[in-house]
């Protein structure tokens, strides 16, 4: 009985959301601002500076989308959301797009009625240990105490991993990443496990980062990407191809430094011309101005530039491209053709 009530409410909500999302593009244009859902704070992905301006890897996608749709990367209203409030905010129309390190899963895509428009970061769960422990592989962690955030998929992944390898562990449940750092540094647990990007960011803050090692095993697939509501395919297309434009721009060598020059007149590469709107009418098909991709790329650079600026190896987060390199460099970033 209780379940049917909830399901009924969700169905109604789904229908309403569908009705609300019928013309997201029109709504955004009339409002003159894009409402973009982001994290309340995650190192490298979303954080406010002293002036209250948000920046980060996930935020950069929002800015690119605002650039594509409104021609102005600052015409944006950021809505900071927790893991619990993010989906209702999107379903109810409070935000137009969600770019908040959200893992693409079947239930979220199908049951919660969202459309993932692509993957902007391939993450996976890893382990961090003090070097003094002398462990080089996660399979040697038999009997270890593990700090783990409760109520997340990482908890389930961890149980699976230890069970398949037939070794035991003792969980130390914690609530937030900040708490985990303190517990781990204080020696309350031997191992800290969370997404590999989070581990790298956490290790960077330690007083002696060299004393800690991130183990080579990655035990889960966490494809993170932006998403929109079901029911407005036109808007989903815009969100999807904005992401693709950023990725394609890197592949084609279009950067924030040379884009003005390349967009000024048709180049010798027809795909660049189609992307930048100097040839063809791709903007028109999307319902956007011809230079939509130019504005999107100028907002923060192409995918590679964004990566290097916020989470790349020169930043304190210090992540290598790895799986997130272009497919031409052995990674998984592969934008469909602009044709």
The residues binding other proteins (CB under 8 A) are: 9-10, 12-13, 16-17, 19-20, 22-23, 26-27, 30-33, 39-53, 56, 70, 72, 74-75, 77-82, 84-85, 88-89, 91-94, 176, 178, 181-182, 201-202, 204-207, 315-317
Tokens of 222: 């966490």
Considering Cα of 287, then 65, then 321, then 148, what sign does the dihedral take? negative
* Environment class of 145 (CB within 10 Å of its CB; exposed 0-12, middle 13-18, buried 19+): middle
CA distance 120 to 244: 9
Please identify, using beta-carbon distances, which residue of 173 and 316 lies nearer to other proteins. 316
Please identify, using beta-carbon distances, which residue of 100 and 274 lies nearer to other proteins. 100
Please identify, using beta-carbon distances, which residue of 48 and 280 lies nearer to other proteins. 48
Q: How far is the CB of 126 from other proteins (least distance, A)?
A: 18
Question: What are the residues facing 121 on neighbouring strands?
Answer: 224
CA distance 241 to 293: 9
Q: How far is the CB of 259 from other proteins (least distance, A)?
A: 16
**φ, ψ of residue 245 in degrees (nearest 5):** -60, -40
Residue among 13, 69, 81 nearest 236 (CA): 69
**φ, ψ of residue 211 in degrees (nearest 5):** -80, -5
Q: How far is the CB of 178 from other proteins (least distance, A)?
A: 6
Please identify, using beta-carbon distances, which residue of 178 and 332 lies nearer to other proteins. 178
Q: How far is the CB of 325 from other proteins (least distance, A)?
A: 22
Cα angle 28, 308, 67 (rounded to 5 degrees) comes to: 15
Please identify, using beta-carbon distances, which residue of 48 and 171 lies nearer to other proteins. 48
Please identify, using beta-carbon distances, which residue of 42 and 117 lies nearer to other proteins. 42
Please identify, using beta-carbon distances, which residue of 182 and 258 lies nearer to other proteins. 182
Q: How far is the CB of 203 from other proteins (least distance, A)?
A: 10
Q: How far is the CB of 30 from other proteins (least distance, A)?
A: 5
Query: Alpha helix (H) ranges present in the chain?
Result: 2-20, 24-31, 57-70, 86-91, 106, 153-164, 177-185, 196-204, 233-252, 259-264, 270-276, 282-286, 292-300, 303-310
CA distance 59 to 298: 14
Q: How far is the CB of 43 from other proteins (least distance, A)?
A: 5
Q: How far is the CB of 71 from other proteins (least distance, A)?
A: 8
**φ, ψ of residue 74 in degrees (nearest 5):** -100, 0
Please identify, using beta-carbon distances, which residue of 82 and 258 lies nearer to other proteins. 82
Distances (CA, A) of 190 to 155, 157, 262: 16, 18, 53
Using only C-alpha atoms, the chain has a radius of gyration, in whole angstroms, of 21
């Amino acid at each position: 009985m209780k379940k049917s009530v909830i399901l009924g409410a969700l169905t109604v909500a789904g229908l309403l959301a569908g009705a609300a999302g019928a013309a997201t593009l029109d709504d955004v244009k009339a409002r003159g601002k894009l409402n973009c859902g982001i994290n309340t704070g995650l190192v490298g992905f979303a954080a406010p500076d002293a002036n209250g301006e948000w920046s980060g890897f996930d935020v950069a996608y929002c800015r690119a989308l605002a650039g594509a749709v409104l021609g102005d990367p600052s015409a944006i209203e950021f809505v900071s959301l927790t893991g619990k409030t993010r989906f209702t905010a999107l379903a109810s129309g409070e935000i137009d797009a969600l770019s908040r390190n959200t893992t693409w899963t079947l239930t979220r895509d199908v049951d919660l009625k969202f459309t993932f428009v692509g993957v902007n970061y391939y993450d996976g769960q890893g382990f961090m240990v003090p070097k003094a422990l002398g462990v080089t592989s996660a399979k040697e962690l038999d009997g270890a105490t593990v700090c783990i955030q409760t109520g997340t998929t990482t908890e389930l992944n961890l149980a699976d991993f230890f069970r398949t390898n037939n070794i035991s562990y003792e969980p130390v449940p914690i609530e937030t990443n900040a708490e985990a750092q303190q517990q781990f540094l204080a020696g309350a647990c031997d191992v800290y496990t969370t997404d590999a990007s989070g581990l790298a960011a956490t290790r960077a803050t330690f007083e002696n980062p060299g004393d800690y090692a991130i183990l080579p095993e990655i035990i889960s697939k966490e494809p993170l990407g932006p998403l929109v509501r079901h029911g407005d395919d036109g808007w989903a297309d815009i969100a999807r191809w904005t992401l693709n434009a950023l990725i394609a721009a890197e592949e084609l060598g279009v950067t924030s430094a040379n884009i003005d020059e390349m967009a000024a007149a048709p180049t010798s590469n027809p795909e660049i011309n189609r992307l930048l709107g100097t040839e063809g009418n791709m903007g028109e098909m999307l319902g956007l101005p011809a230079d939509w991709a130019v504005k999107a790329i100028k907002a923060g650079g192409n995918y590679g530039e964004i990566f290097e600026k916020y989470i790349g190896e020169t930043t304190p987060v210090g992540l290598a491209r790895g799986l997130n390199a272009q497919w031409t460099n052995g990674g998984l970033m592969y934008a469909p053709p602009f044709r």
